[in-house]
Amino acid sequence: MIKILLKTFIIFFIFLNSNGYSLISEPKGHPKCVNSDVNKSDFCPLEAKLGHTLILVDFTSRWQKPQIDWVKGRIFGEALISGVPPYNRISYLKIDNTPPHSQKYVYSKCRFKTGTKTKFEGDKVNSKCEGSDFISNIYKAWRSQINEIENNFFPKNEEADQSLIYEYIIHVLRELSADFGSDYQKRELIIVSDLMQYSERVNFFKHCKSASEKLKPKNKQKADKCGTFEKLMKKEKSFANYIERTKPNQEMLKNLKVKVLFINHSYQTRQDLYITLEQLWIDMFKYIGINDYEIIPQIDFGT
């Protein structure tokens, strides 16, 4: 009997795959028909908050073209379509000289369905109440908006007076205006940054210099090796108290995944800094309660 049931399951599994059925089923509240279930202004479901991918990009240091190309390939284009399910919100937020509370989203709308077969079940046209041409035209309009954002997203090479990376992270987690709360069924925060926090409270360029580096002339010094997070908290009491008072609570961290695209700005840092800087942030994430995270270092691109 068990063999018969197992054989039946295998046949059914093969049937699903051979007919192009997705193994990623539609989540609860997924729109069935565009005309009745979707907001026409932002392509989002009227009755549900399925997911939110918030892409936080740090422009407080100068960028080079290979870095722009690497990041573009991960936060725009096909990577966006294949990584974000239909009707999940996508938001782009820049870190620059603007204080977090005054910063506005560059873009914040939901990813529209492609109208074709993908790994997401919800991408297909619902032939009962939707037309293929109708869906295709809306998808093209949505894709045109994303392409326009991509073409104008990366600014000229300018440096900011400070880099409030921690503050931006906390801002989007705790402020209702960011619309990135745990009322979404799932959330992903993508941070694109060199992770070199510097402000009046704390300066990672000082914390991440070895004794031998500090012996060099000041204009030759670069960040090369970070002290531990424990040492930072002991040394920078103001920052330690600040983190303790502002770190997110459990509700703010519910359904949250963090992905860091870790950029190496070689004009400011030594090539092996990422080893200790990455560990510094891992320990900081754990301290503030972020346990579901992934850090992807940028590969060397030459000079």
Assess if CATH 3.40.50 describes domain 28-297. Answer: yes
Task: Return the SS3 of 195.
Answer: coil
pLDDT at residue 86 greater than cutoff 90: yes
Of the candidates 90, 109, 267, the one whose C-alpha atom is nearest the C-alpha of residue 194 is 267
| Distance of alpha carbon 114 from alpha carbon 85, whole angstroms | 10
Q: Which pLDDT score, from 0 to 100, does residue 299 have?
A: 79
Structure tokens at 66: 């290979």
Average pLDDT over residues 77-91: 96
Cα-to-chain-centroid distance, residue 257: 9
- Within a 10 A sphere around the Cβ of 227, how many other Cβ atoms? 17
Q: Would you say residue 74 has pLDDT above 90?
A: yes
- Under DSSP, is residue 116 helix (H, G, I), strand (E, B) or coil? coil
CA separation for the pair 23, 141 (Å, rounded): 28
- 293-297 and 256-262 strand pairing: parallel
| Measured distance CA(250)–CA(189) in Å, rounded | 16
pLDDT digits (tens, 9 = 90+) for 170-195: 999 999 999 999 999 999 999 999 99
| Residue 283 one-letter amino acid | D
Least confident among 17-31, 100-114, 229-243: 17-31
Residues present in the chain in total: 303
- Farthest CA pair distance, the chain: 79
- Indicate the burial class of 266 (C-beta count within 10 angstroms; 0-12, 13-18, 19 or more): middle
